[in-house]
Copies of this chain bind each other. A is one copy, B any other.
Amino acid sequence: MLSLKLTGIHLKNPLMLAAGIMGTTGGSMKRIAQSGAGGLVTKSIGVEPKSGHGNPSMVEVDCGYLNAMGLPNPSYKNFQQEIDTAKESGVPVIASIFGGCALDFSQIAGAIHADAFELNVSCPHAHGYGAEIGTAPALVEDITHVVKNVADVPVWVKLTPNVTNIKSIGLAAQKGGADAVVAINTVRAMAIDIDSGYPILGNRFGGLSGRAIKPVAIKCVYDLYEALDIPVIGVGGISDWKDAIEFIMAGAQAVEIGSAIGNNINVFNEISSGMEKFLSEKEWDLEDIYGMAHRL
């Protein structure tokens, strides 16, 4: 009852592993598949191996987590074997990729085999640009377009919420040919250790994830659903089945789950059975609740 076709990919349920969470090794992704995920998004993979920012790279805050991993990854040259291992689980594997320019993205997408690509346009090191790539509509459109040209699988574009107007970025992705958008990446944030005055993260600041950002993500999904013709995939702060339902009502066709896995590796199974119970009690199916908030 939870299965769906998302940009042409069959998912047994609309619950996927979010990028950057237990997604660096084939073994860890397989484990998440075994605990009920309908799809697996890998760690974001770049052109060269990268060790990321120094520790502390993640810390728990009041209502979520703050992280600045710095995109550690073994590079696409070492990653196909991990995807292949993950694929043994029988669940679709979506390769998250990042780069500093369109060329980086197309180089990776041209070399990697996966069921779809998720473009992480939140890389802060855009070649020749000061800010994140994902804040400039023209760049997002260009990168999407270039990847669409080399990829023969669906291309999703993952958006940052740290912009004045997320709709304009979503529209740029759509214009570039994206098959779906994913919202949201982490929210720019910071924490300071008051005993010493030091910023806690090695990178000084980072991105907020977890419960704290759910209402922010819901609003982004809601806005993107209104603005776009392509599907929206929701992510941000989902930790139980109610959260997943809320995202779908806001207009997400499927969702991704990240931080919640830390304390509950079984979160996928729990959410899918919770959703099934809720939907059958209400005598609704996924289609009924998809975008429901817009119709009321």
Residues of A with Cβ closer than 8 Å to B?
Answer: 61-64, 66, 131, 135, 162-165, 187-192, 194, 196-199, 205, 208, 211-216, 218-219, 222, 237, 242, 245-246, 249-250, 278, 289, 292-293, 295-296
Query: Nearest CB to that of A165 among chain B residues?
Result: B131
- For A289, the chain B residues whose CB sits under 8 A away are 197
Smallest CB–CB gap between A288 and chain B, Å?
Answer: 9
| A189-B205 contact given A211-B63, A212-B213, CB 8 Å threshold | no
Assuming A187-B187, A189-B218, what are 20 further A-B pairs, CB within 8 angstroms?
A61-B214, A62-B63, A62-B214, A63-B63, A63-B64, A63-B211, A63-B212, A135-B164, A163-B163, A189-B219, A190-B215, A190-B222, A190-B250, A192-B218, A192-B249, A194-B242, A196-B296, A197-B289, A212-B212, A212-B215
User: B63 and A198: CB pair below 8 A?
Assistant: no
Number of copies: 2
Which residues on B sit within 8 Å (CB–CB) of A190? 215, 218-219, 222, 250
A197 to B214, CA, bound (A): 16
Chain A contact surface mostly: mixed
Say how far A79's CB is from chain B's closest CB, in angstroms.
Answer: 31
Q: Which residues from chain B contact A216 at a C-beta distance below 8 Å? A: 187-189, 208
- A192 CA to B249 CA, complexed, in Å: 8
CB nearest to A199 among chain B residues: B293
Contact of A205 among B219, B242, B278 (CB under 8 A): B219
Can you list 18 pairs linking A and B with CB atoms under 8 Å apart? A62-B214, A63-B212, A66-B215, A131-B165, A135-B164, A162-B164, A163-B163, A188-B219, A189-B215, A190-B250, A191-B218, A192-B293, A197-B249, A197-B289, A199-B296, A205-B219, A208-B215, A212-B213
Q: A237 to B187: give the CA distance in the assembly, Å.
A: 15
Residues of B within 8 A of A222 (CB): 190, 199, 205
CB–CB B164/A131 < 8 A: yes
User: CB distance A250 to B192 under 8 Å?
Assistant: yes
Chain B residues whose C-beta falls within 8 Å of the C-beta of A237 in the assembled complex: 62
